[in-house]
A and B are shown apart, each in its own frame.
Chain A
Amino acid sequence: MKVLVTGAGSLLLGGVAQALVERGDEVICVQRRKLEMTHSMSLTQHAVDIRDREALTAAAEGCDAIIHGAARVGVVGTWEDFRSVNVDGTANVIHAARAHGIARLVYVSTPSVAHSGESIVGATADVAVKGRKGSFYAESKAQAEHMVLAANTDGLGVVSLRPHLVWGPGDTQLVGRIVDRARAGRLVMVGNGHALVDSTYIDNAISAHLAALDAVAPRATCAGRAYVIANGEPRTVTELIEGICQAAGVPFRPKHLALPLARIAGSVVERLWPRLRSDEPPLTRFVAEQLGTAHWFDPRPARDDLAWNPHVTLDEGFTRLRAWFELNR
């Protein structure tokens, strides 16, 4: 199978591209910057801005499937910045698929598209919520998910995955931040740390995308649907963060911040930060709510419809993370 992967600059999509190559698929990567890849035999790279419809369509020629993960993330930037990449970019991907009669499309979404700030206990993937102010990222991803699922037809099978809190060796988003802050003695825990939160070990997130790629096809059960991807092993926030700190060999001595306070602080930071700094802020309202309320999901839809089961347990994940830190110390 020849697969176009967008956004392979991220840990997850880079891992997906590599896993595809390892199992013998032909992979075309498009992203803005050139990547350093270990397995480059059957991996072709194109420097394409996702906003450039013609260049993207040209790159997709001859592909059997697309995994679309390119996105603008974070809180820094204008609505136009987010919309042009996340919404228009996705429209371009759909256009490319249609132009070449490509029958399979996996869209990499995010749980934040359906995030309401309330506890989630054993839920399935809700419909993405559009029209929310506050997070440009969540809004643009929600609009894109609606668009991509609506593009599901008898000619093009589309599936949307929402990997939940992906972590593992090399992850700078979650593991990197926690370890940096713990090392600096500035680790803050939102709420009492008792919220039960599911997460996804990186290898499982990768295998889920491969499973989705294999499962999706026009009129397949999963076609036109969104799935939350997670390990299915919720733990308290404390256990999860403590596990990461232990693996990294850094002390776990968190300060506690009440959820209502953290929500306010997060909102303020989100508004002010982009005006003052160009890097990502330490706390956003979304992160505060993710860490302060329960978030775990029903694993059955992904298991049944995508024929996917996480193969690395959480504890095995911590062991691998520890080994990685010891190797990179």
Chain B
Amino acid sequence: MSVPSAAQLGEFGVDPSCSKFVDVPSHSGGSHRWHILERPGMGADAPTILCIHGNPTWSFLWSRLLSEINPAFRVLAPDQLSMGFSDHIGARPYRDRVGDIHDLVTALDIYGPLWIVAQDWGGAIAMGYATSHRAQVAGLILSNTGIAIPADRKAPRLIRISASSGLHRLITRTTSLFVRGTGYLPGSGLTKQQRRALVAPYLAQDRRIGVAGFVADVPFDERHPSSFDLASVAQQLSDLNIPVRLYWGSKDPVFNEDFADDLMSRFSDVEIHRIPRAGHLAVLETSMAPFVESVVRNSAQAISAPSDDDQACETLWARIDSSTRPDILAISDAAAKTSVTFSEFESRVASFAQSLSDQGVKLGDRVAVLVPPSIDLIAVVYACWRVGAITVIADRGLGIKGLGAAVRSARVQHVVGPQQAVTAARVLRWAPRAQKISVASISASRTISSLAQITVPAPTADDLAAVLFTSGATGPAKGVRYTHRQLGAQRDALQKTYDITADDRFVAAFAPFALFGPALGITTGLADMDVTSPSTLTADALNQACQLIDATMVFASPAALANVVRTAGGSLPAVSKSRLVMSAGAPVPLETLQKMQALCPHAELHTPYGMTEILPVADLSLAERTLAGSGRGVCVGHAVDGCELMIAAADTLGDLVPLDVGTTGEVVVCAAWMSSGYDRLWQTQIAARPILNSRTWHRTGDVGHLDVSGNLWIEGRLVHIIHTASGQVTPVPLEISCEAVTGVVRAAAVGIGPRGTQQVVIVVEVDDASEGPAGTLLTQQIRQAVAPQTVASVWLVKKLPVDIRHNSKIDRSALALMMQDKLSGSWR
């Protein structure tokens, strides 16, 4: 087959009217007929996306992008010469292929800004074209490609095998193994139809000459004719001052993440968006159109507002300085029954810092800290910060699999932990090429008494300090990046919001907060509990931890707090001396707070609102909560001092449109202690960090409204909004109404059906643990409770799907899918 029929293209999901042939004069003489898929775009100067496929694919590779992208964009996807349905003119070396692109761009009338999207060896060709025709190219979007074998790596094994002299012809030309195999590489899997479409032009042996030639053109040593050309392009990449965005399928065994790292190091303006579940053909496996649109749309503006904040800020380790009060307790670990004074702690941090530095940990290196919560964990983190290393900290609630995915995605250079953890990281291939550093090895080295003796230069305030992974509601955990300045600002915000002074001492039963103790310069107590399961904190363990340091404050997760009130037999003398109890991470039931208040009558009970990306945003005391009463959603209080809060229209992409008081929209915030963004998730970052009035804001993904007195009410998650035919409905207010019905323990409101015409279904947990459709009476009561909202069905479940960590965040998306299935009438 040398010309695709309309019927066949249609079967492949390609609009046949996009397919056309053009005759293009060639730099190497003569003229060749190219096959192109083209979408016209809107207007003469529409942004033009030129898509260059690799080997052994053809323009079909871009069929999803072509059909899914905003119609305003012009898209051109040629079949390279000797590939697909373009003229087959024999093997073509790299240099000619770069020239071919120039021939094509010259022949096609391109008026708008030209973006090149390329995959596999198409990427190398695109880079070649961009370096030799800088003025023509607005930017590059590269997917699973490379320009050179990354340092200390061999060429991809699969390509090496295919190119080896004995097998080359057999694999690539005589048989269709190479052509067919591409559709079966690890990744999220293509459909049968997509695989058939990919090989369609290459079914006959004589149509595979170009494919075979391409493989033979991969230079494995310097004697290869294309080696010099590729190396010279590679050298010029750093001078390209255009945006380069990588769209990377992480499961690719050919162009793996080492290639991504290599490219990241070569460009001046480069960002990456990883797709953990996709492979080599990520551009076809996933919907790439939104990425391309946002890259082009955001090329005009800076990614984040420039920081005009060039003031120095107090370092995170400044208050560890023990000279003023060497014998004050720094950290007490109730589980290990040990403690350190500030003087001992400073010495430990300094010694660790020196050993880390001695072992090669340097400014900008990423370090996965796998040390369990202990004094050593805190010391390692501060030591890393002092030497300028970026600590990669994963919440243990992610579980082993999530932890591994987090460490892997952060591309760490070093792993620090106890011997078992370091071994596990090696065995599980979390960071195969990272240096493994056991805690024992840094503890055993020489002792240094003071941080002042550390000679390696300290990082600046705007260097990255940490990448934090916490469990997301759905999908793999996202890494959140913090600079030293931002963590410092967070410390100051906590200090200011809760009036923390040098005389305070606090028990941290919520691991992340324990890290802030030394930065705040106050005594920190670690309670005896299993941190992977906060609900294991008993009343006695908390009381003991408070007693050891004579605590003035308790920071605990809601689940931990709930267990404390449950296990409190009588009074808790040490806990009752607290002046402040704070609980963050998830909504805290009023009943838990009231019982806690009874245990510590003199304490103020606070529940800050915030997220991994920015905390605190707002704060609410128990007294204020009682005063706020009930309303549409859950009240989380006023914005804390220094944090700006806005309710923005949830349905507009990109631009922030503030809404009036009382109107429901997305909660958008801005504060000095906001994280700088997401790690290696450029698209997520762009979507979550709009710019308004030259400041970067954070879209929280929560929806809610502000009341007249400035209280923020949360009505649910943006992704859980129910889009009915008569408008958007937020789940939390409906759930609160349902939970007022006698017998209902917990309720969830979900939407089923297509967006814009969804029906509301209420799913409830009741006391008697039944499952199935609710009875007539309960159904009627629920309908009355949420009126005038109509409800299609009321359903009972034994247990709603909730997150492991807090046991409170309902996975409404999963529930909606389940209900849509149940209410479809399928007989199960």
Number of CB contacts from chain A to chain B under 8 A: 77
Main secondary structure of the interface of B (DSSP, over half): loop
**Given contact pairs A121-B752, A298-B754, A196 touches B827 in the complex (Cβ within 8 A):** no
**Given contact pairs A195-B823, A298-B757, A235 touches B828 in the complex (Cβ within 8 A):** no
With A and B bound together, what is the CA distance between A299 and B725 in angstroms?
7
Q: Which of A184-198 contact B (CB under 8 A)?
A: 191-192, 194-196
Are B822 and A298 touching (Cβ within 8 A)? no
Which chain B residues lie closer than 8 Å to A313 at the CB level?
790
With A and B bound together, what is the CA distance between A13 and B824 in angstroms?
31
B642 at the A interface (CB under 8 A): no
B758 at the A interface (CB under 8 A): yes
The proximity string for B residues 472-487 relative to A, scoring 1 for CB distances below 8 Å and 0 otherwise, is 0000000000000000
Most buried by B among A239, A242, A292: A239
Which chain B residues lie closer than 8 Å to A63 at the CB level?
none
B792 at the A interface (CB under 8 A): yes
Contact of B725 among A191, A237, A300 (CB under 8 A): A300
Which chain B residues lie closer than 8 Å to A180 at the CB level?
none
Which chain A residues lie closer than 8 Å to B757 at the CB level?
122, 297-300
The proximity string for A residues 116-146 relative to B, scoring 1 for CB distances below 8 Å and 0 otherwise, is 0001011100000000000000000000000
The proximity string for B residues 801-828 relative to A, scoring 1 for CB distances below 8 Å and 0 otherwise, is 0000000000000000000101111111
**Given contact pairs A195-B824, A237-B825, A232 touches B793 in the complex (Cβ within 8 A):** no
The smallest C-beta distance from B720 to any residue of chain A, in angstroms, reads: 18
Are B824 and A303 touching (Cβ within 8 A)? no
With A and B bound together, what is the CA distance between A234 and B783 in angstroms?
14
Q: Which of A291-328 contact B (CB under 8 A)?
A: 292-294, 296-300, 303, 313, 315
The proximity string for B residues 237-255 relative to A, scoring 1 for CB distances below 8 Å and 0 otherwise, is 0000000000000000000
Are A119 and B825 touching (Cβ within 8 A)? yes
Which chain A residues lie closer than 8 Å to B773 at the CB level?
194, 236, 238-239
B759 at the A interface (CB under 8 A): yes
Are A236 and B725 touching (Cβ within 8 A)? no
Q: For chain A, which range describes its interface: under 10, 10 to 19, 20 to 34, or 35 or more residues?
A: 20 to 34
With A and B bound together, what is the CA distance between A154 and B779 in angstroms?
50
Are A192 and B827 touching (Cβ within 8 A)? yes
Are B756 and A121 touching (Cβ within 8 A)? no
Are A122 and B793 touching (Cβ within 8 A)? no
A88 at the B interface (CB under 8 A): no
Are B756 and A196 touching (Cβ within 8 A)? no
Nearest opposing residue in chain A for B793, CB measure: A236
A233 at the B interface (CB under 8 A): yes
Nearest opposing residue in chain B for A233, CB measure: B790
Contact of B756 among A232, A236, A260, A298 (CB under 8 A): A298
Which chain B residues lie closer than 8 Å to A73 at the CB level?
none
A269 at the B interface (CB under 8 A): no
**Given contact pairs A196-B759, A299-B757, A303-B725, A236 touches B823 in the complex (Cβ within 8 A):** yes
Contact of A121 among B776, B793, B824, B827 (CB under 8 A): B824
Contact of A294 among B754, B758, B825 (CB under 8 A): B825
A211 at the B interface (CB under 8 A): no
Contact of B820 among A121, A232, A297 (CB under 8 A): A121
Which chain B residues lie closer than 8 Å to A259 at the CB level?
825, 827
With A and B bound together, what is the CA distance between A204 and B478 in angstroms?
50
A150 at the B interface (CB under 8 A): no
The proximity string for A residues 224-242 relative to B, scoring 1 for CB distances below 8 Å and 0 otherwise, is 0000000011111111001
The smallest C-beta distance from A223 to any residue of chain B, in angstroms, reads: 23
A47 at the B interface (CB under 8 A): no
B753 at the A interface (CB under 8 A): yes
Nearest opposing residue in chain B for A196, CB measure: B823
Are B753 and A296 touching (Cβ within 8 A)? yes
Are A300 and B756 touching (Cβ within 8 A)? yes
The smallest C-beta distance from A116 to any residue of chain B, in angstroms, reads: 14
Are A191 and B825 touching (Cβ within 8 A)? yes
A174 at the B interface (CB under 8 A): no
Are B827 and A258 touching (Cβ within 8 A)? yes
Are B793 and A235 touching (Cβ within 8 A)? yes
Nearest opposing residue in chain B for A260, CB measure: B827
Are B754 and A196 touching (Cβ within 8 A)? no
Are B756 and A233 touching (Cβ within 8 A)? no
Contact of B824 among A119, A239, A242, A299 (CB under 8 A): A119
With A and B bound together, what is the CA distance between A196 and B760 in angstroms?
12
Are A196 and B793 touching (Cβ within 8 A)? yes
Are B779 and A195 touching (Cβ within 8 A)? no
With A and B bound together, what is the CA distance between A313 and B788 in angstroms?
11
With A and B bound together, what is the CA distance between A297 and B752 in angstroms?
12
The proximity string for A residues 249-260 relative to B, scoring 1 for CB distances below 8 Å and 0 otherwise, is 000000000111
Are A242 and B776 touching (Cβ within 8 A)? yes
Which chain B residues lie closer than 8 Å to A303 at the CB level?
725
Are A194 and B756 touching (Cβ within 8 A)? no
Q: Which of B2-45 contact A (CB under 8 A)?
A: none
Are B827 and A122 touching (Cβ within 8 A)? no
Which chain B residues lie closer than 8 Å to A121 at the CB level?
752-754, 820, 824
With A and B bound together, what is the CA distance between A96 and B518 in angstroms?
91
Nearest opposing residue in chain B for A236, CB measure: B793
Which chain B residues lie closer than 8 Å to A122 at the CB level?
753-754, 757-759
With A and B bound together, what is the CA distance between A298 and B826 in angstroms?
21
Which chain A residues lie closer than 8 Å to B753 at the CB level?
121-122, 296
Which chain A residues lie closer than 8 Å to B820 at the CB level?
121
Are A196 and B825 touching (Cβ within 8 A)? yes
The smallest C-beta distance from B790 to any residue of chain A, in angstroms, reads: 6
Contact of B825 among A123, A194, A260, A299 (CB under 8 A): A194
Are A234 and B825 touching (Cβ within 8 A)? no
Which chain B residues lie closer than 8 Å to A315 at the CB level?
783
Are B792 and A232 touching (Cβ within 8 A)? no
**Given contact pairs A233-B790, A239-B779, A239-B793, A294 touches B725 in the complex (Cβ within 8 A):** no
With A and B bound together, what is the CA distance between A297 and B758 in angstroms?
10
Are A234 and B754 touching (Cβ within 8 A)? no
With A and B bound together, what is the CA distance between A303 and B756 in angstroms?
13
Which chain B residues lie closer than 8 Å to A196 at the CB level?
752, 759, 792-793, 823-825
With A and B bound together, what is the CA distance between A191 and B823 in angstroms?
11
Q: Which of B744-795 contact A (CB under 8 A)?
A: 752-754, 756-759, 773, 776, 779, 783, 790, 792-793
Q: Which of A166-206 contact B (CB under 8 A)?
A: 191-192, 194-196
The smallest C-beta distance from B728 to any residue of chain A, in angstroms, reads: 14
With A and B bound together, what is the CA distance between A157 and B754 in angstroms?
30
Which chain A residues lie closer than 8 Å to B756 at the CB level?
298, 300
The smallest C-beta distance from B762 to any residue of chain A, in angstroms, reads: 13
The smallest C-beta distance from B330 to any residue of chain A, in angstroms, reads: 60
Which chain A residues lie closer than 8 Å to B754 at the CB level?
121-123, 298
Most buried by B among A234, A293, A313: A234
Which chain B residues lie closer than 8 Å to A294 at the CB level?
823-825
Nearest opposing residue in chain A for B822, CB measure: A194
Q: Which of B31-82 contact A (CB under 8 A)?
A: none
Nearest opposing residue in chain B for A309, CB measure: B726
Are B828 and A192 touching (Cβ within 8 A)? yes
Are B827 and A235 touching (Cβ within 8 A)? no
Nearest opposing residue in chain B for A262, CB measure: B827
With A and B bound together, what is the CA distance between A158 and B759 in angstroms?
31
With A and B bound together, what is the CA distance between A303 and B776 in angstroms?
30
With A and B bound together, what is the CA distance between A234 and B759 in angstroms?
8
Are B793 and A293 touching (Cβ within 8 A)? no
Most buried by B among A191, A233, A294: A294
10 further A-B contacts with Cβ under 8 Å, apart from A192-B827, A298-B756, are: A122-B757, A122-B758, A194-B773, A196-B752, A232-B725, A242-B776, A259-B825, A294-B824, A297-B757, A298-B757
10 A-B pairs with least C-beta separation: A195-B825, A122-B753, A298-B757, A122-B757, A196-B823, A122-B754, A119-B824, A293-B825, A294-B824, A299-B725
* 28 intermolecular pairs with C-beta atoms under 8 Å apart: A119-B825, A119-B826, A121-B753, A121-B820, A122-B753, A122-B757, A191-B826, A192-B828, A196-B752, A196-B823, A234-B759, A235-B792, A236-B773, A237-B825, A239-B793, A242-B776, A260-B827, A293-B826, A294-B824, A294-B825, A296-B753, A297-B757, A298-B756, A298-B757, A299-B725, A300-B725, A300-B756, A313-B790
